[in-house]
Amino acid sequence: MKLEIVLEADNFTLDFSDLSTSMYLTDLYVNKSIEVNETTNDLVYSNQFEDDPLIVFLVVLKCVIMLFIILAAIFGNLLVIVSVMRHRKLRVITNYFVVSLALADMLVAIWAMCFNFSVEITNGEWLFGYFMCDVWNSLDVYFSSASILHLCCISVDRYYAIVQPLDYPLIMTTAKLGIMLAVVWCSPALVSFLPIFMGWYTTEDHLNFRKRFPNVCSFTVNKVYAVISSSVSFWIPGVIMLYMYYRIYMEADRQERMLYRSKVAALLLDKHLQINGISMGEVMRERQSIQMQPMASSKMKRERKAARTLGIIMSAFLACWLPFFLWYIITALCGDACPSPPPVVAAVFWVGYFNSALNPLIYAYFNRDFRAAFRKTLDSCCRSLCGEVARRFCCQRPRRDQHHSNASSDIHMNNCVKSTSADVLRAHQASCSRPEDIVFET
């Protein structure tokens, strides 16, 4: 079969020989309208981008949304990493998984999202060559798989913390933490770099097409790879997480009922001892046992709140990536019978990418410790920025104007004080005296 694509607006022709027609239609020239020449069976693309203001608006809106997701994912996950590094209270085993997850999400934004954004703004054209296309596809699969495996490890960690709290320090040791993180970061390579660079992930027709047209970077997979990669990256870990959080919910509910019953029983016993005139020493011992109940209740509330936060993170991940993996497995198994319009492909990809920007927001909104750490970190960054600006404006300018009189210097300093807040003034005074002594509170 011979397929000829004529781009009238761009005045060039692509000749595809011995290739399936519908395999490549979803990856080429998103903003072109397609017409079929019934006489020659050629596909004619006419460029409508410059003639339709609505399309121009939609393209600009799409670019703004994509840039927002990229920047939010980079800076949000960087804030998570910096906050845990700066605040000792957050350095617990679960948060080491969270930091590793934030690193994976940040790398998704830097590598996968940025390359995808370049394809979108160039109207489907790949600018980086044949080899970098394989690199992009590999990194996309690798970091996405690493993210969900991190969430799987977090659910297992929370399971042991709540279901077996006494054995948790023995089960989740630093050595086991390192082993789990090593598995999480190494295992995704088996479904990303290895099959993609070896050419096992796709068909011979697609490999021939890519060699002839390296400026098109589409990710067309065969059925075997689609089933294996989606199972390893999403379906199996997703089922494990759902099961773990179901067990966590049932155990937390059971422990809460037991705690309530024991608390009521202790209060009734205390009242019974007082009525029957038991000695004061025995009553005090009973009251001490009663006072231990709020401590256990507080600990249980913290564990339950942490489980709820991580459960929300898992739910957000599944809600973001489930549309993509459903589309991925359905189109791979259906083949040409299930065509996918380019807007649908872009939507499922970027809804999945949005999860990388969503996790820091979930931490800040639902977790009080992270919220406080974020606030302190951002406050330190703002004071650092404002202090540097004030130091340069208020300290360096008088040095350039040393020939002025003392009166003019006083006027300049008074204006500086009036234009800055009290916090900026304190940062200015510290930086003018000894800039190396600035230390931000944690």
pLDDT 10s digits, 115-163: 999 998 888 889 998 999 999 999 999 998 998 899 889 889 888 888 8
Distance linking the first and last C-alpha atoms of the chain:
67
pLDDT of residue 51: 59
- DSSP 8-state symbol, 359: H
CB 206 within 8 A of CB 222: no
Residues forming a β-bridge with 17:
2
Q: Has residue 388 got a pLDDT over 80? A: no
Please give the structure tokens belonging to residue 308.
């709820």
| Rounded percentage of the chain residues whose pLDDT exceeds 90 | 28
Q: Has residue 385 got a pLDDT over 90? A: no
Domain range list for the chain:
2-47, 54-366, 378-437
Q: How far apart are CA 338 and CA 153, in angstroms?
A: 35
Superfamily of domain 54-366: Rhodopsin 7-helix transmembrane proteins (1.20.1070.10)
CB 200 within 8 A of CB 134: no
Q: Has residue 316 got a pLDDT over 80? A: yes
pLDDT of residue 440: 31
Q: Has residue 423 got a pLDDT over 70? A: no
State pLDDT tens for residues 269-301: 666 556 665 544 444 555 555 455 555 556 566
Q: Output the CA–CA distances (angstroms, integers) from residue 325 to 147, 203, 348, in the order listed.
A: 14, 20, 9
**Identity at 348, one-letter amino acid code:** V
pLDDT tier at 354 (50, 70, 90 boundaries)?
A: very high
Overall pTM surpassing 0.85 (yes/no): no
Q: Output the CA–CA distances (angstroms, integers) from residue 127 to 116, 117, 119, 213, in the order listed.
A: 11, 12, 8, 11
Phi then psi for 10, rounded to 5 degrees?
Answer: -105, -10
How many other β-carbons are positioned within 10 Å of the β-carbon of residue 332? 19
Look at residue 46 and give its three-state secondary structure: strand
